[in-house]
Structure 1
Amino acid sequence: MKRALEIIPAFLSWSILAFFVVIFFTRPLAAAVVIIIFLLYWVFRLLYMSILLILAHHRVAAGKDLDWLKSCQTAKSDLKFGDMIHVVLYTVYKEQKEVLEDSLDALKASLYPKENVIVALAGEQRDKDAHEKLDFLKAKYGGYFKDILVTFHPEDTEGEIPAKGANATYAAKKIKEYLEQNAYDLGRVIISCFDADTCPDKNYLACLTANFLKNPRRYRTSFQPFPVYSNNIYKAPAFARVIEMGSTFWQLIESMRLEKFITFSSHSMSFKTLVEVGYWPVDLISDDSLIFWKCFIKYDGDYRTYPLEVPVFMDIAVGRGFFDTVRVQYKQKRRWAWGVENLVFAGTAFINNKNITFLEKARRCFQILDNHINWATWSIIISFITPMALIWGRAVFKDALVLFNLAYINNIIFHTFSFILILSVVISYEFLPPRPREVSRFIHVLFVLQWLLVPFISAFLGSFPALDAQTRLALGKPLYFYPTPKKREA
């Protein structure tokens, strides 16, 4: 069963692409009809997602005006605000000291009592500079928080792979020992698992606490901020800015579909719940999303992810130059697309769980497949196959009505994309940090024009990495965890 689940995504994705190519050459008219149906489907789907993006934007904008700390203090809850403890866990591997300084400075600026915040810096034993770097950070920031814990994950541990999940789990077990030694109630501890470059919004901890206190199902809920990749946005290439802003938009869209919303990247949850489910997976890459599925299965489907109204700010993945940035972006997106392993994890676990209904299991598996197959195929079909069908069809069937309709629908797609690009430009400006003095004011012209790159990069840095990941999974070729390089220029 496990092997079948590994093969299914790639089989379906390649079958869809092969179907379009074969029918394109053998039955051009039939291909035109199929493409028309496909394009119409995507017109409605894109409009639907645009509506969700607008609604999510309004929700976030409304959250900006709230006094979240006051909301914590006045929340009607069986827990007391003053008893809540936050553990902010940063997983670290070869990131520059300056990257972590930016993150800790942002955490230090939080509008939340820092005497209730414990910072954990989780280093890797195989990182030779980790001890000196983390000891320096503990000494520098120790006076700003309740405590700073430093851990070093040992290398070559049996049953583990060198990945973020193994490091985070090792650190969380050490944190549990610390909390128990100091007689903390785990039910009053919230843990946030952050990448090294994660800079939380000043209202993040207060917003998280308010939602945790008010939520009667707080121990059956993860709390997910929306990531904004803007820490180095003025120094990143245009194509990388577009890709990462698209990732932010996708998370905003997903946040409006609570029935399929799961954890991604930086996230928060009850420490008590984390302990009950056995921490993050130590032998899989997609720890951020798999922790949701561990909870979902552990609690027989009684688990959800709540979208927070405030962001965390992160780095755009960049390399040493233009082409190296292309390589870095491709490898990062392929690692994200490796989240298709969620189907294998959830599908095999569903077999042994008799308390989740068959319909719920089928719905959840379909959602995973739908996301990943569309990710791997739709931009290839729209960017390559549809234009080829138009060119080939005009040469073979010049006067066919169906080809006129195909061109007409393709024109509708173009106008739909134009609307979405304008919407993207408008909303993206909401998330831009202040322009540094050394950056020309004309950068804002580029920030508008950069969205014209979407049709060209959506396949190369969207579908291709996803198809690569699915194919590797189907062939049984493991993907090793790729730690995205994060740095600060002097």
Structure 2
Amino acid sequence: MLTPAARRFWEILPGATSWTVLVAPFILSFIWPEGIAYFIIVFDTYWLTKALVMGGHLVFGYYHMQRAMRIDWLERVRQTEDMEGLSNDLLRRFHLARGFEARRLKEEWEQVEAMRRMPAIQKDWRQVRHAVIYAIYKESFEVVEGSLRACFESNYPKNKMIIVLALEERAGAQAVAVAEKIKEVFDGVFADILVTIHPDGIIGELKAKGANVYYAGQELKKYVDARGWQYDDVMVSCFDADTLPSRQYFANVTYNYILNPERTFRSYQPIPLFNNNIWDVPVINRLVAFGSSYWQMIESTRPHRLVNFSSQTMSLKTLVDIDFWDRAVVSEDSKQFYRAFYQYRGNHQAIPIFTPVSMDAVLGRTYWDTLKAQYIQKRRWAWGIENFPYAMEKFFAMQGLMTLKDRIIHPFRMLEGHVSWATSSLLIALGGWLPILLNMDFRSSILAYHLPVLARDLLSLTWVGIIVSTIVAFQLLPPRPAKYGKIKTVEMLLMWVMVPISGIIFGSIPAIDAETRLMLGKYLGFHVTEKERKTTFAPSVVDKTVVSRVS
């Protein structure tokens, strides 16, 4: 355990680093403007390269998602009953395929072949049940009903699915009424629908999603124990109330689960698409929604970096091993990954699932409410830096139990990622002008004359990435509601010019806000994001949007 002083040091470090990075160019512009100028040139070049690389990963992630949405994963799962037959079928497909498809089929065939040679650890998919925990606070019946309808429309056998409606006692009678109506509407559809009510005021808990789903997980464990089921036969998905799993999601997770010999030491991470209400939200919020989805698509193509975010699936065995969710943090999703990673001494990975889940973009009752809620949501996501002291605690505690690489990699990525999040947009926007505006002597130099031009030319190339982002966005959009004319589509196209503004207002600023609060010991509580819907899409419509674009 870290001492209080050590914990405060690690809480201070991220914010102090970000503020140093932001303040240093101002100070050095007076005493060493040439150094700042060359730093900005190198920094802009680095970000140009990074933007192009991430654009490539985005396209790659989209191709992965296209492919995943074309596959009948339930049929794949059924084929695992005959591993040799599945192996032969995949090998035949591989010889007929080319390029990207051939590479993916080869990887899949190798995985099946490895499992075929290990009959002792093979798992019959017919024994696998899915429990879906929906964390509910004060969401409306329409929101929750749409989410359960998406589960109903999935192609996984419903008699193998248990729905857990995780309510909060402090939400009052409204939440209970919603749950009762849901049970009435979906009576007999699933194997069971459980309703848990998390008591308010438990000492040591934060009023947050983690505490709610921890309680629901404990109740689910009792339910499973009473029926004598094996923990590793139960997959547990933890979703927000507005999450619509795509039709193939549960079958895809099952397939990946039973083919992985290290299945207990893995979590399964879908790509979240914030597009349930994307046509209704203001322009700048759409950019944030797409940006959030894009980042997860990019990270899914780099599984060595992938950390759980929002929706996720684990086996009940894994959850029992790590004692379910952390009840005292805001960022329970990413903390879940780190807890499993250190519990299993580095033998834990998040497996990307390219059949997506659809969620709501931020939308309040008024335009101002929407902007405010968006800022609060991004600040809450940036508050994931609260896990940095925990990672540093494990860095020291796991010495001798884990390799140095495994102990240092996640603290380093966390610190680098959050500092970059807080500073990059501001440095790109302002850094090139600081030595010119603040240093009169430097202003008349040749370097000062060329610096803005060079920075502009470098950053103009990043529009290649924005064009790619625009094209992908149009492939992911649900159908335009009839109440909106074609001008709305034009608006969808033109909104991308606001990317630099969005990057500062809903990127750097909330991130530096979160880091500063942690640095000063002003700890955040959990704030439920406000999400309104002006247009209601059936889950099948949202899912078919993706399917129709990729078939």
Common fold, TM-score beyond 0.5?
A: yes
Amino acid corresponding to residue 210 of structure 1 in structure 2: Y
Q: Deviation per CA, 1:153-201, whole angstroms, max 9, x where unpaired?
A: 0000011010000000000000000011111111110000000000011
Aligned residue runs from structure 1 range 324-473, under 5 A: 324-354=369-399, 355-389=401-435, 396-401=442-447, 403-416=449-462, 418-473=463-518
* From 106, 127, 134, the counterpart of 2:171: 127
Of the candidates 10, 14, 24, which is equivalent to residue 19 of structure 1? 24
Deviates more, 1:147-156 or 1:29-38: 29-38
Does the Cα contact within 8 Å between 2:277 and 2:534 map onto a contact in 1?
Answer: no
Provide closer, same or farther for how the CA distance between residues 394 and 311 of structure 1 changes in structure 2, counting only shifts above 3 A: farther
Q: C-alpha deviations, 1:202-253, integer Å up to 9, x for none?
A: 1111111111111111101000000000011111001000111001111111
Change (3 A) 1:353 1:399: closer
Which stretch of the first structure deviates more once superposed, 313-322 or 117-126? Answer: 313-322
Question: d(CA) in 2 for partners of 1:235 and 1:9?
Answer: 36
Q: Residue 126 of structure 2 corresponds to which residue in structure 1?
A: 82
Q: Which residue of 2 aligns with 1:173?
A: 218
Q: Which amino acid is the alignment partner of residue 278 of structure 1?
A: D
Q: 1:300 and 2:333 equivalent?
A: no
The structural deviation recorded for 1:398 is 3.5
Q: Are 1:113 and 2:118 counterparts?
A: no
In 2, Cα distance between equivalents of 1:348 and 1:98: 43
For 1:35, the aligned partner's letter is I
Q: Which amino acid aligns with 2:454?
A: Y
Cα separation, 1, equivalents of 2:461 and 2:276: 32
Counterpart in the other structure of 1:7 = 12
In the alignment, the residues of structure 1 paired with residue 269 and residue 392 of structure 2 have an alpha-carbon distance, to the nearest angstrom, of 24
Q: Is residue 95–residue 196 contact of structure 1 (8 Å, CA) maintained in 2?
A: yes
What is the alpha-carbon distance in structure 2 between the residues aligned to residue 311 and residue 395 of structure 1? 55
- 1:9 offset after TM fit, Å? 0.3
Contact 1:99–1:486, Cα closer than 8 Å, also in 2: no
2:96 is equivalent to residue 50 of structure 1: no
Whole-Å separation in 2 of the counterparts to 1:172 and 1:321 = 36
| TM-fit CA distance, 1:46 | 1.2
Supply the AA of the counterpart residue of 1:251. Q
Q: Partner residue of 1:100?
A: 144
Say which SS state the counterpart of residue 442 (structure 1) adopts: helix
AA matched with 1:176: K
* Unmatched runs of 5 consecutive residues or more in structure 1: none
Residue 68 of structure 2: aligned partner: 63
Alignment-derived partner of residue 323 in structure 1: 368
2:233 match: 188
**Alpha carbons 1:376, 1:467 under 8 Å: kept:** yes
Decide whether aligned partners of structure 1 residues 402 and 386 sit closer, same or farther in structure 2, where only a CA change above 3 A counts: closer
C-alpha separation in 2, matches of 1:41 and 1:270: 40
Give the deviation of 1:56 after TM superposition. Answer: 1.2
| Partners of 1:109 and 1:202 within 8 A in 2 | yes
For residues 403 and 73 of structure 1, the distance between their equivalents in structure 2, rounded to whole angstroms, comes to 67
- Give the whole-Å Cα distance in 2 for the aligned partners of 1:27 and 1:311: 49
Once the 2 structures are TM-superposed, how far is the Cα of residue 98 of structure 1 from its aligned partner? 0.8
Hey, what's the Cα distance between the residues in 2 that align with 1:58 and 1:10? 37
CA contact (8 A) 2:245 2:356 kept: yes
Structure 1 residue 27 displacement after superposition? 2.7
Partner of residue 476, structure 1 = 521
Q: Give the C-alpha shift of residue 294 in structure 1.
A: 0.6
Compared CA separation, residues 26 and 130, structure 1 to 2 (3 A): same
1:29 aligns with 2:34: yes
Structure 1 segments (4+ residues) deviating >6 Å? none
**3-state DSSP class of the match of 2:68?**
helix
- Which ranges of structure 2 fall in alignment gaps of 5 or more residues? 1-5, 84-114, 116-121, 536-551
Contact 1:39 1:409 in 2 (8 A): yes
Shift of 1:403: 4.0
| 3-state SS of 2:420 partner | helix
TM-score, normalised to structure 1, is 0.97
Residues 1:488 and 2:493 aligned together: no
Q: Secondary structure at the match of 1:144?
A: coil
Shift of the alpha carbon at 1:462?
0.5
Aligned match of 1:311: 356
Q: Tell me the number of residue pairs that the alignment of Structure 1 and Structure 2 aligns.
A: 489
Q: How far apart, CA to CA, are the structure 2 residues paired with 1:300 and 1:99?
A: 39
Deviations 1:321-365 (A, max 9, x none): 222211101100000000001211121123222311223222221
**Matches of 1:63 and 1:107, distance apart in 2:** 18
Q: Structure 2 CA distance, aligned partners of 1:407 and 1:392?
A: 18
Contact 1:225 1:266 in 2 (8 A): yes
Q: Which residue of 2 aligns with 1:202?
A: 247
The one-letter code sitting in structure 1 at the alignment partner of 2:299 is E
Give the match's secondary structure for 2:188: helix
Aligned-residue identity in percent: 36
Query: What is the match of residue 89 of structure 2?
Result: none
Q: Distance in 2 between matches of 1:371 and 1:113?
A: 40
Question: What secondary structure is seen at the aligned counterpart in 2 of 1:206?
Answer: helix
> How far apart in 2 are the matches of 1:43 and 1:321?
37
Aligned-CA RMSD value: 1.6
Q: Is the 8 A contact 1:380 1:459 kept in 2?
A: yes
Q: For 2:533 and 2:282, how far apart are their aligned partners in 1? A: 15
**Cα pair distance change 1:70/1:394, threshold 3 Å:** farther
SS of equivalent residue, structure 1 residue 236: coil
C-alpha distance in 1, partners of 2:49/2:449?
21
CA contact (8 A) 2:436 2:443 kept: no
Cα deviation for residue 399 of structure 1 reads: 4.5
Deviates more, 1:69-78 or 1:141-150: 69-78
SS in 2 for 1:87: strand
Compare 233-242 and 427-436 and name the one that shifted more.
427-436
Write the distance in 2 (CA, Å) between the matches of 1:200 and 1:217: 24
Shift of 1:314: 0.3
Contact persistence 1:220–1:304 (CA under 8 A): yes
